[in-house]
Structure 1
Amino acid sequence: MYLKNFKLFKQKRDLKLAKRKLLSKKKLKNKRKLEYSEYVLRKTNQTISLVFNESKRTWMPTNLSYLLNCSKSVFHIEKISKPIPNNNGYFKVPAHFSIIDNPKESYNFIKNLLGSLINESYTKIYIDYNDCVKIDLSAQSLLDIILKDVIAYFNYRKRSHLIEASKVVEINGINFNSEEVEKLLHSVGSVAIHSNRHTSYPEIIPYPLCIHSRDQNINKIKLEEQKELDTTKLVDYVLSCLGRLNRKLTTDRIEDLSTVIGEILINAEEHSTTKYRFSIGYFHEFEGEEHYGVFRLTILNFGQTIYEKFKDDNCPNKDVVEKMEKLSKQYTAKKLFKGREFEEESLWTLYALQEGVTSVAPESYKKRGNGSIRFIESFFNIKGKMKEKEEVSRMVILSGNTNITFDGSYNIVDKEIHSDNFKMMTFNDSGNIEDKPDNKFVKHVDQYFPGTIISAKILFNDDDFRSKGQ
């Protein structure tokens, strides 16, 4: 009897040990499978990072991961998760969708949409443009970049055997009631990007979303070649838009345009924490009493803001930082900082835009600046003139909590410093950076943009059309 019981006990024990061993092998196999997946993703340059989100580990594309983990971002995981809108998956785009002119409503819309997607609150998501009559390229491109990463994240989970598939099975844009909105979405926006249903319009010249990742394994020669290709592509696009208006640039103007565009692109790339830069363009031609076109261009990155880059203890250009700190002391002594209306961040961001100012080490580039002023000057020089003063053309730089807007109200001035000529943009009548800028054009904004975005909307005019008296 005892022997029989002992044998039964031994069988149960052996079975238990066998199950435990099998479970351990399975765990080890899954662990190795996960490690191998990470290795393959790194080797194939699929820049995906591992983040921890509450009770599960999920694969997340780099830029989306940054937005969700940046504590100041309005898209931080804790901010987008409370509360989740109770709307059955229908998200209405604001009447004026713009992170520049209508930031609070526009950011809230993107935040609520992203929160519902990440938390998988609804199986079907509908982005409703029924009320939207005016749309900015910068806001739509930000939304589309986020959606692109979310879709990539869901698709990865669908293919993976390690992570459960997303509950979200459909994301759709609906009710394009505005012709302007519909054309933008179908030529360079969501429909063209995510549904691959690009529509051509005779009066529209699109510049599709260009995404470039600065792979650390690529040598400098290849990076330079890529920059040259992207610069040439963007310059050719500008020339095509001007060509619609019978406008031609001189060789010197084209060379200048190539230089400033190349400078802006490489700056967006170098200063991106995630090592990505994005650019997108949209040109709309109009004919009537006057023949003109509205040119739009957005260039952006995610990561440290301009201010944070210089404020960082590891900023390699200590000379520029010392000058900024000295300038801050002068502003403090003069009591020019006025609460949130005008802070040190706005001052440093403005200072950083001046020609010759850069956060890279001075030995790396001689007289290297970020090119922002020359970029603005080049586009405003080729925009042409209307019969009346037009209020369309402007260029906006958003970085962190700073908004800097150039519309031609203040001119760019030339300054001679130590026998070198520099372009300065101070937004005041004195042309002196030590004097407070006009807070209508250099201002603090409540909504923090987690990176830097340059948004241009320039009116190009057909001078030949006007000169013929038509």
Structure 2
Amino acid sequence: MTKSNRYTKRIVLQKIRQRDFDRQNRRSKRQKKKENQYYEPREGLPVPRTIRRSVIKNPINSSIGKTNKLSPKKSFYINKYLPPNLKHLVTSKESPFYLENIKKQEFKSNGVVAIPKIFSIIEDPENAYLTFKKIISALLIENDRQVTLDYKQCEKVELGSQVLLDIVLKDFFQFSRLCSKIDRSRKEHFPVTVGGFNINNEDVHKMLFSVGSPVTLKVREENFSDIIKYKLCIHDNEKETNYDRRIEQKELDTTEMADYVIECLSRMNKKLTPEKRDDLCTVIGEILINAEEHSTTKFRFSIGYFKEENIENKHYGIFRLVILNFGQTIYEKFKDESCPNKEIVEKMRNLSNSYTKRSLFTRKEFEEENLWTLYALQEEVSSISPSEYKRGNGSIRFIESFFNIKGSKEVDDISYLTLQSGKTRIHFNGKYNIKNKVNSNNDTFKVMTFNDSGSIEDKPDNKYVYQTKDYFPGTIISAKLLLNDDDLVQLNN
């Protein structure tokens, strides 16, 4: 054998040995990876079938050595593909869920976020907003493969907070599915599964599995003898730009929800009086159309939750209603230079000047934003151009109807209606009622001023109209109505 042939043979043998070494090395790596993997157990809050059987790394150690700094690819996906509602929540600088601010807090959940004892943006907003920040951080910033919500300490979930969570999760899964189609390595960037466990409280369990996240995500749904469901209704104005058709859709949604309440009452062998039925339809319809008028993301969300209760040996029906939208707040809508109703805006500015001259504004307690939001609820006030305005009494109609259903405080001290838009919260519980006023033309109009004088020129009671620490990036209306014997008549068997 020549020297050249021996050299060629040696090179070939080296390549064979290197190939065998690489093959063995790959086999060894696969074996180690397999040892560190497990199939996610199907317990607690289920996750979609398409992802719940995925093999994932142990979530306990998934964050070790990782930072909360967004990779260029994650940032690209978030900026380009997030659905409009979730995108507004995390990209609006005023939003408490602004992603750049959440990154600075450097949450390290290790894939587990604890739900507080009272999960309510109304009763305990500080802990509720903090929880939402942690959830958004776990979904979009942190690097865990699995996100789990721990309900061990949770004893109460307010419907508005639950709906907000459902919207976040629904948009996130829509976002993650889109990313998976674009880049098959999506599982390396965002969580693969989202679930929940320790759902021990009976009331929390009923809400979650009747109208909550498992139902909204079409994962799991349960039936309960004391609850009739009205699932989350999502209306997208992008699909229907015609004003008259949107009104028709609003009427359909109003009728559907009112029929739902009537169905709930029939189970109790009771029905609303004709007057109270009209009041209920007015409440629902006015809130729906106001949500559409002030929405800039073109979405309107509504949900109802009816539960039979026995309080002091008396049988009641408690109906919860939540309507919300994201985008410009009521104040921002009127403050915007493009607001079409210039006449109303001018009246608001004059009112602000009057408050300023009398030093009625108090920093961080009652400011112009709070005043304008209250003014927007009065009769004949709308951000819509007068040429397009086709309704009679405006937002005050749903307030009046709410009080008609609620009855006197002596009869009912459970019902309430809360409106939050931006940093303004207005709370209705019956202490202050609507009053009739007469203008210079002897025309009668209705006002809701939260003061004894009945004049919008006088400062409202700061227990009912005030500025909140946290900003809600849109408008949310939460109502809880007690339907008792004062509101109902017995059905004939």
**Mapping for residues 266-345 of structure 1, pairs under 5 Å:** 266-287=289-310, 289-345=313-369
Unaligned runs of 5+ in 1: 1-50
1:80 aligns with 2:97: no
1:253: Cα distance to partner?
Answer: 4.1
* Alignment check: 8 A CA contact 1:264 1:370 kept: no
C-alpha contact (below 8 Å) 1:380/1:458 kept by paired residues: no
CA distance in 1 between partners of 2:307 and 2:73 (Å): 44
Alpha-carbon distance, 1:220 to partner: 3.6
Deviation for aligned residue 1:80: 2.1
Q: Does 1:393 align with 2:415?
A: yes
Equivalence for 1:125? 147
Distance between the aligned counterparts of 2:73 and 2:443, measured in 1? 51
Structure 1 position 219, deviation (Å): 3.2
**2: CA distance between counterparts of 1:463 and 1:369?**
26
Q: Report how far residue 462 of structure 1 moved.
A: 3.2
Secondary structure in 2 aligned to 1:291? strand
Seen in structure 2, the aligned counterparts of structure 1 residues 109 and 464 have a Cα distance that, compared at 3 Å, is: closer
Aligned to 1:28: none
Separation in 2, partners of 1:420, 1:121 = 63
Matched to 1:336, the amino acid is L
SS of the residue aligned with 2:401? helix
Give the equivalent residue in structure 2 for 1:48: none
Q: Is the 8 A contact 1:187 1:199 kept in 2?
A: yes
Q: Which residue of 1 aligns with 2:116?
A: 94
> Which residue identity does 2:426 align to in structure 1?
I
Asked if the contact 1:84–1:112 (Cα under 8 Å) also holds between the matched residues in 2, the reply is no
> Where does 1:24-423 land on structure 2 (aligned, <5 Å)?
54=75, 58-161=80-183, 164-165=186-187, 166-215=189-238, 218-287=241-310, 289-366=313-390, 368=392, 370-371=394-395, 373-383=396-406, 390-417=412-439, 418-423=441-446
Residue 138 of structure 1: how far off its partner (Å): 0.6
Residues 247, 462 of structure 1: 8 Å contact kept = no
Distance change (3 Å), C-alpha of 1:167 and 1:304: closer
The alignment's TM-score, normalised by the length of structure 1, stands at 0.82
| SS of corresponding position for 2:334 | helix
Farther-moved stretch of structure 1 (410-419 vs 242-251): 242-251
CA contact (8 A) 1:384 1:462 kept: no
Using the size of structure 2 for normalisation, the TM-score is 0.79
- Write out per-residue CA displacement over residues 24-55 of structure 1, whole angstroms, 9 at most, x where no aligned residue: xxxxxxxxxxxxxxxxxxxxxxxxxxx99645
Q: Structure 1 residues 329 and 163 mapped into 2: Cα distance closer, same or farther (>3 Å)? A: farther
Structure 1 distance, partners of 2:383, 2:244, is 22
2:340–2:385: 8 Å Cα contact kept in structure 1? Answer: yes
1:73-108 Cα offsets, whole Å, 9 max, x none, are: 011120222233223211001111111111111101
Quick check: 412-421 or 450-459, which moved more? 412-421
Name the amino acid aligned to 2:143.
S
8 Å contact from structure 2 (residues 273, 487) kept in 1: no
What is the Cα deviation at residue 413 of structure 1?
A: 1.2
CA apart distance, 1:419: 4.5
1:256 Cα deviation (Å)?
4.5
Distance 1:442 1:228, change over 3 A: same
| CA drift at 1:258 | 2.9
**Other structure's SS at 2:132 match:** helix
Q: Distance in 1 between matches of 2:262 and 2:407?
A: 14
Counterpart residue type for residue 236 of structure 1: D
Contact map agreement 1:58 1:163 (CA 8 A) in 2: no
Moved more, 455-464 or 118-127: 455-464
Structure 1 partner of 2:27 = none
Structure 1 90/433 Cα, relative in aligned 2: closer, same or farther at 3 Å?
same
Partner residue of 1:42?
Answer: none
Does structure 2 conserve the Cα–Cα contact (< 8 Å) formed by 1:271 and 1:304? Answer: yes
**Preserved CA contact (<8 Å) 2:322 2:479:** yes
Distance 1:336 1:247, change over 3 A: farther
> What is the distance in 2 between the residues matched to 1:53 and 1:72?
22
3-state DSSP of counterpart to 2:375: helix
Aligned partners of 2:262, 2:484: CA distance in 1, in Å? 13
Q: Secondary structure at the match of 1:332?
A: helix
SS in 1 for 2:82: strand
1:269 is displaced (CA, Å) by 1.4
The whole-number CA distance in structure 2 between the counterparts of 1:53 and 1:170 is: 17
Assess if the C-alpha contact under 8 Å between 2:308 and 2:318 holds in 1: yes
Decide whether aligned partners of structure 1 residues 385 and 314 sit closer, same or farther in structure 2, where only a CA change above 3 A counts. Answer: closer
2:466 corresponds to 1:449? no
Question: 1:262 and 1:465 mapped to 2: Cα distance?
Answer: 21
1:362 deviates by 0.9
2: CA distance between counterparts of 1:62 and 1:205? Answer: 31
- Going from structure 1 to structure 2, the CA distance change for 1:63 and 1:421 (only over 3 Å counts) comes to same
What amino acid sits opposite 1:261 in the alignment?
A: I
Distance in structure 2 (CA, Å) of the matches to 1:246 and 1:376: 28
Are the counterparts in 1 of residues 325 and 475 from structure 2 also a CA contact under 8 Å?
yes
How far apart are residue 255 of structure 1 and its match? 3.7
Residues 288-340 of structure 1: CA distance to partner in whole angstroms, max 9, x if unpaired?
61111221110000000000111111111111111111111111111111111
Letter in 2 for 1:142: L
CA contact (8 A) 1:52 1:58 kept: no
Q: Which has the larger radius of gyration?
A: 2
